[in-house]
């Protein structure tokens, strides 16, 4: 029964990881990392991402302006850019490695140990990708909370709030870590591979033939 569930767990792990990687890439380019509601002008909502700041008007229009300088950004946004790129890259590499290590893939059937290593490395890369996606999102969220409750800022000054991209990033990190865990569980399982079963059966048959010839 375990031999039946192993390919299912592998496919589930890589599909969940693929979903997390897509969400991580989406988080990187979404401009809604922070939202700013202006009480004086409720018809406009300002948003800020890693690459640009946008203003959304009630009529449905949206105008965005790219940041002029990388060095002029706050520290959390600068580091978040780097970490999100690293997350996307490691997630893509994990997809490639774990894809070649799937049991349902007929390539390399005779090299099961190498396929297991590919799955293991792919699962570890998904862990790294998930962690490096959660860290920048959580850092920006922490900085937003600190600024929101900063007593040194006058009450009349508008405060930034959580944007939708933060929640997408948390979901992406969770999916990547979950997918990597599923893949690593299939590698670490102590089930016997079918090739070893066939080898054991053939060895038993040879022993029986030897006993029959001796008698």
Interval 106-151: pLDDT, tens: 665 666 677 888 888 999 999 999 999 999 999 999 999 988 887 7
For the beta carbon of residue 16, count every other beta carbon within 10 angstroms.
21
> Tokens 């009529």 identify what position?
59
Segment 199-213 shows an average pLDDT of 52
67: phi then psi, degrees, rounded to nearest 5: -70, 135
The pTM of the full predicted model, rounded to 2 decimals, is 0.80
Does residue 186 surpass a pLDDT of 50? yes
Work out the average pLDDT over 171-177.
96
Residue 33: closest CA among 101, 182, 130, 133: 133
pLDDT at 197 over 50: no
How far apart are alpha carbons 128 and 134 in whole angstroms? 10
| Mean pLDDT, residues 170-178 taken together | 96
* Helices and strands counted in the chain (H then E): 5, 5
Rounded mean pLDDT of 1-13?
73
pLDDT value of position 111 = 64
pLDDT classification of 103: cutoffs 50, 70, 90? confident
Mean pLDDT of the chain: 82
Of residues 45 and 175, more confidently modeled: 175
């Amino acid at each position: 029964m375990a031999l039946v569930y192993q390919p299912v767990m592998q496919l589930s792990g890589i599909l969940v990881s693929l979903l997390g990687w897509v969400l991580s890439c989406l988080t990187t380019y979404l401009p809604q990392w922070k939202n700013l509601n202006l009480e004086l002008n409720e018809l406009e909502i300002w948003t800020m991402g890693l690459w640009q700041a946008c203003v959304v008007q009630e009529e449905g229009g949206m105008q965005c302006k790219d940041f002029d300088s990388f060095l002029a950004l706050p520290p959390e946004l600068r580091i978040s850019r780097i970490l999100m790129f690293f997350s996307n890259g490691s997630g893509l590499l994990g997809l490639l490695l774990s894809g070649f290590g799937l049991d349902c893939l007929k390539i390399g059937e005779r090299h099961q140990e190498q396929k297991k290593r590919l799955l293991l490395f792919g699962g570890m890369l998904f862990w790294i990708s998930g962690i490096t996606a959660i860290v920048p999102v959580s850092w920006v969220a922490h900085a937003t909370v600190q600024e929101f409750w900063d007593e040194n800022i006058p009450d009349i000054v508008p405060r930034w709030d959580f944007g939708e991209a933060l929640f997408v990033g948390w979901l992406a990190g969770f999916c990547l870590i979950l997918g990597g865990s599923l893949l690593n569980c299939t590698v670490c399982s102590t089930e016997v591979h079918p090739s070893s079963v066939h080898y054991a059966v053939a060895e038993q048959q040879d022993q029986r033939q030897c006993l029959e010839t001796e008698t």
